[in-house]
Structure 1
Amino acid sequence: MRCGKLFVVIALLFASMMLLAPFANASGFARLSELAERGFLVSAEARLLDTGEVLGAIEPRRQLSPASVSKAYLAAAALDRFGPQHRFTTRLVSDAELDANGVLQGDLVFDGGGDPSLTSEDLWRLAQRLHQAGVREVEGRLVISQWRFGPVECITTDRCQAHSRVANAYSALLTSAGVNHGSWCVSVAPAATPGEPARLTSCDSQAPIVGLDNRVDTRPANGGTELYAERVLDNTGDVMVVSGHIALGSAPRSIYRASSDPAAQTASTLAAMLGQAGIGIAQGTTTSIAEPAATARSLAEVEGLPMQEVLLRVMNYSNNFMADVLTMTLVDQPRGNLVQGGQAIEHFVAGIPDHGPLELRSGSGLTPENRTSAHGINTLLSSMYHRTALFPSFVASFQSPDNGVMRFIRRGPPIFQTHVMLKTGTLNQPVAVRSLGGYFRTVNGRWGVFSVLVNGTSNTPWLNWAQVLDPLAEDIERMINTH
């Protein structure tokens, strides 16, 4: 009888310990757990990498939207596929003959290689190399070939609406033949005299390469500067509508807005570059989804940035165009879609033991349907930490709060700002999402990983970054100092 009672007591004690375990782990996130008490959905976990000891956890396997922390999965998959030094190549090709006078007797084809970081500087280099190859005139057309992918079907509200009008650059449409992150750039400078219209020009050409609707006036030197811009599509093409005012003596301001057709944007930009290099295009420009002829020879080419530098820009600036173009390069066959790109990342993650479920419809995180857990993110981070050849490039793409590109992360106590490297994610529709994932170093130099996903509901109040970062910084600082 006594043995039976003792067994019951032991069983009750064990059950109590099991019930208390989640709360003991949650105590590591004592401040962050207040968000859960206010009705937000939270998944959080922090653990040391050398022993695997969990320092804190709140529903670590709960599936929530990670927003732009999805880009950490993309970065890992891209490094795994291509390696840190891989460069995408963009070419100008043709199967036409070049005569003794430098006339290309046919079409010049821009073979878009899917470079997420292609800029006007690269196009200028292409134009210069084409001139160096002896080309002075193109008798045919300038054809922008986006045969690898593009135009890519939009699957988010922002990108679908961006075709007709847009007031941002983050929702740029996708193509393998894009330049300048799929966005137009205009430069606004004050006139010589107050009261006159400001000077509005294209950033990349002396001649306008996008329609300009200038509604900006010049104010006196103490008049301040406020600018507003929207890119609209009308029957003439893309038009940048810029309004507001700029103070006399102000430095020129650059404004970026997503184009309605990034391949057509490349056509206009490259044609302007060729013109400035003294190369004429007789029959204008067009876009195509046809692959260049097998007989086409390369006349000029340019290599993009190394993959590790591409990822630095993707992660630090959370550039959605770059992220999803890179996602598309992971699709094995041409003419793929963004969901297939997400599936390619999922396939990579399926090889990481104990990760758990993952759903990615994009690598950018702009798709609110993406789902993962804090435990899953930490498992990914731990896996990359143990890949010696890839980890330096991977971790370098994360930001330290102390010198973060994004100003909103420059907060928290000094130990948090200098001992943490992180990636953030933000969505505001259909619910508020604030997410983070990254690495920390304890005061004794031990490595750890942490991930936090906070999702709102239809019943929760507005959520800003201070409400997440401030309590998290306190919790992580305590872990860093304690361990």
Structure 2
Amino acid sequence: MQRLSFTVLFLWFVLPVSAQSLAQRIATAFRAFETHESLANGVASLTVVNAATGEVLFAKNEKLGMAPASTLKTVTSATAYYLLGAGHTFETKLYYTGQIDAAGTLKGDLVIQGSGDPSLGSDRFPQTADTVLLTAWLQAVRTAGIRKIEGRIVADDRLYNGQTAPRGWTWQDMGNYYGAGVSALNWRENAVGVNFIAGASPETATRIANTTADVGYLQLINETTTGNRGTGDRVYAFSAPYSSRIYLRGTYGIDLKKTIYLSLPDGAYDAAYQLQRALQRHGVDVIGTPTTTHLLLLAGSSLPSGGRIIHTYRSPTLGELIYWFNQKSINLYGEAFLLAMAQHQTGKTNTRDGAEMLQEYWSTKLALPSGELKIMDGSGLSPENRITTHALARVLTSVKGEPWFASFFESLPTYNGMKMKSGTIGGVLGYVGYQTSKDGTPLVFALLVNNYNGTATPMRKRMFQLLDMLK
């Protein structure tokens, strides 16, 4: 009898919970989530939408502007698909000016003309690797009959007026690979790796063993020290576009074996520099020094014009680029897409105009109030970005019927067994994506947390537990 009474009591307690609707289960879980001590000084916002009907199943703080971090990349990606098309490619040309005499001497310049390809020289695709492109360019020079160049190797980066970083990016970010500035001629994702040798004991100086590419034109000032065992990578690089010095600060764990990647202050210059070195290694002497059209303009020097094209390269398609953009959260790609969209739509080529164009596009398409999309860049790296979970969910819902949706969906990483894009900057965590509930309901969700207390790992775990209610 006692066991029977316990069973009845247990069923009385459990059945109402299991009988709850999906919306009720989410609401119950969110109440527990937002009242946790980690959010005593912070705020959480969640929007969940039935993707089949557009019905909002749950929303809390959904109209509150929040820092989105990299979840903003989903909006940039969707806009790029709409405005540029999944098959869009970027074109890079190699041409020479002047004439080639009978001895094979080019009395003119060799020019690399960029159009904003973020993957040029990247190792994410076999055809984009720097060694592959340098080999192709070298062969094109030889085929053209050039044996000596009395002019310059010029990187033509004039389309976007040189290399820039979006407004709002911080000093701590810009010197590191994820804070690389954007140019019309990006090269190796505008990054270079540094290998360190830790000191014999913690707090002693480290040494730079080597770099992944020759950047002898830069001054690397190493102020890093050796960290304790298990402390890992706490190295930060400090520089900005067109810096000639890069300061390396922080700690490098005594047991760490990792290449630390920094941003290149001028990716276009590095492309010209690496091409000149490759030519000279293979017997093609170059008299002039490598340069860019931006640097020539600053110096009041003449710019290359006209000429004969000897090689044309096309990037992977936009859909292929967006895969890596979202999978690895490469900020440079977002800024390149934003500028490409601005140039395509308005002829303007700066981040401010690109951000305004993106806001206006979604305000028109989905009737979203301007206050729900306050965008400063294309990647989410700026801490000044503000977006609502309502806007994020609306955008992700709107793309489900598009012919390129499968490509967009595939670009999203998988976390916690769910297809979703994450976002992380100081005090900010977010997840946006898609999930099918156990009753077969297709869901779109956007969850953002700002100004939480504690470290990211326990907060991420609590967020996953909340999102498990959608399964």
Using structure 1 for the length normalisation, give the TM-score: 0.75
Q: Report 1:363-374 matches (<5 A).
A: 363-374=378-389
1:53 CA drift (Å): 3.7
Match for 1:348: what amino acid?
A: Y
1:171 paired residue number:
179
Secondary structure of residue in 1 paired with 2:178: coil
Q: Report 1:108-257 matches (<5 A).
A: 108-119=110-121, 120-121=130-131, 123-124=133-134, 125-156=136-167, 158=169, 166=175, 168-187=176-195, 200-205=209-214, 208=216, 210-211=218-219, 228=235, 230=237, 237-238=244-245, 253-257=258-262
Q: Report 1:69-468 matches (<5 A).
A: 69-119=71-121, 120-121=130-131, 123-124=133-134, 125-156=136-167, 158=169, 166=175, 168-187=176-195, 200-205=209-214, 208=216, 210-211=218-219, 228=235, 230=237, 237-238=244-245, 253-289=258-294, 295-332=306-343, 336-357=349-370, 358-387=373-402, 389-401=403-415, 417-418=416-417, 420-428=418-426, 432-456=427-451, 462-468=453-459
1:193 paired residue number:
none
* Structure 2 CA distance for partners of 1:356 and 1:263, relative to 1, 3 Å: same
CA distance in 1, matches of 2:63, 2:364: 18
Match for 2:51: what amino acid?
A: L
Match for 1:438: what amino acid?
A: G
CA distance in 1, matches of 2:398, 2:250: 49
Whether contact under 8 Å (1:42, 1:453) holds in the other structure is yes
CA distance in 1, matches of 2:63, 2:236: 42
Whether contact under 8 Å (1:117, 1:310) holds in the other structure is yes
Whether contact under 8 Å (1:147, 1:334) holds in the other structure is no
* Structure 2 CA distance for partners of 1:152 and 1:284, relative to 1, 3 Å: closer
Match for 1:374: what amino acid?
A: T
Q: Determine whether 1:475 maps to 2:466.
A: yes
Whether contact under 8 Å (1:238, 1:259) holds in the other structure is no
Cα RMSD (Å) of the superposition?
3.8
* Structure 2 CA distance for partners of 1:127 and 1:229, relative to 1, 3 Å: farther
Whether contact under 8 Å (2:223, 2:247) holds in the other structure is no
CA distance in 2, matches of 1:271, 1:239: 23
Whether contact under 8 Å (1:28, 1:57) holds in the other structure is no
Unaligned runs of 5+ in 1: 1-21, 191-196, 402-416
CA distance in 2, matches of 1:311, 1:338: 19
Whether contact under 8 Å (2:33, 2:462) holds in the other structure is yes
CA distance in 2, matches of 1:427, 1:227: 15
CA distance in 2, matches of 1:122, 1:320: 24
Whether contact under 8 Å (2:71, 2:422) holds in the other structure is yes
Whether contact under 8 Å (2:435, 2:470) holds in the other structure is no
1:157 CA drift (Å): 5.7
- Structure 1 residue ranges (4+ consecutive) displaced by more than 6 angstroms after TM superposition: 22-25, 213-218, 222-227, 242-248
1:304 CA drift (Å): 1.7
Secondary structure of residue in 1 paired with 2:291: strand
* Structure 2 CA distance for partners of 1:131 and 1:78, relative to 1, 3 Å: farther
CA distance in 1, matches of 2:193, 2:280: 19
1:210 CA drift (Å): 4.2
Q: Deviations over 1:349-380 (max 9, x none)?
A: 13432544322111111222222211111110
1:12 paired residue number:
none
CA distance in 1, matches of 2:42, 2:25: 20
CA distance in 2, matches of 1:348, 1:451: 20
Greater alpha carbon shift after TM alignment, 298-307 vs 104-113: 298-307
CA distance in 2, matches of 1:259, 1:294: 27
* Structure 2 CA distance for partners of 1:398 and 1:302, relative to 1, 3 Å: same
1:319 CA drift (Å): 1.6
Q: Determine whether 1:31 maps to 2:38.
A: no
2:16 paired residue number:
none
Secondary structure of residue in 2 paired with 1:346: helix
Match for 1:378: what amino acid?
A: A
* Structure 2 CA distance for partners of 1:59 and 1:246, relative to 1, 3 Å: closer
CA distance in 1, matches of 2:254, 2:283: 37
Unaligned runs of 5+ in 2: 1-22, 122-129, 199-205
Q: Deviations over 1:93-115 (max 9, x none)?
A: 22322233332210112211101
Secondary structure of residue in 1 paired with 2:94: strand
Match for 2:181: what amino acid?
A: L
Whether contact under 8 Å (1:178, 1:265) holds in the other structure is no
Whether contact under 8 Å (1:216, 1:246) holds in the other structure is no
Whether contact under 8 Å (1:159, 1:172) holds in the other structure is no
Whether contact under 8 Å (2:168, 2:382) holds in the other structure is no
Match for 2:331: what amino acid?
A: N
Greater alpha carbon shift after TM alignment, 311-320 vs 354-363: 354-363
Whether contact under 8 Å (1:433, 1:453) holds in the other structure is yes
1:202 CA drift (Å): 3.5
1:187 CA drift (Å): 4.4
Match for 1:448: what amino acid?
A: L
* Structure 2 CA distance for partners of 1:362 and 1:228, relative to 1, 3 Å: closer
Secondary structure of residue in 2 paired with 1:255: strand
Using structure 2 for the length normalisation, give the TM-score: 0.77
